[in-house]
Structure 1
């Protein structure tokens, strides 16, 4: 009986003389081996580490005085600023009930959003850009 290691199958003439129960067991064994958890490659670390998120929208940068007054901090990341703005919107029920994509600005939000009465939720990121001071 010859077993090819790369294919896991029996060779021609010998395969005909092997009982079908043995062939069935070999196929079941191969199927189970496919579903076993594989060890991680040696190049990957064994313990998961949190990715370093200090660039892009996660980078903490100085904010404008009006944004500083709204957030209560002098430096913030874009994600933190958007989260705090959404918390304020939800807390004060400033979303238009008929159109949830529209935000009705009160006096505090108007200082951040260039005095607009209503703002679409996709506009928030664009309207916040001037409030983040670019650093090199």
Structure 2
């Protein structure tokens, strides 16, 4: 028998994982994002702007504090409450990059950001030229506006 609406909406499906952080001397709890949170996170690290060649628009990855931006949403206490607010992104981003990278990988996996999705986010999405041929160059990673 297939699940009904109430069973799906009532399912506790957001996963958590304890991760020992040697540099911080203890475990932290990483929680995966909900679908709504994941969409908002992905939108927050993309910028749509005109292509340099004037042919359409391109989506550019904004990498500034990308890991910390995810982690402030995913690090939680034993009760599942966030440890940080979005305003703590810069402060968390000042911590050890290797630690943030390790925790980012866990948060990304728990949130459904597969390797392929992460590569696509780090690539350069674009609107194809009129003939359908791609005219993209290397991905732009700067957050400065044109």
| Structure with bigger gyration radius | 1
TM-score (norm 1): 0.25
The higher relative CO (CA closer than 8 Å, separation ≥ 6) is in 2
Q: Which has the higher strand share?
A: 2
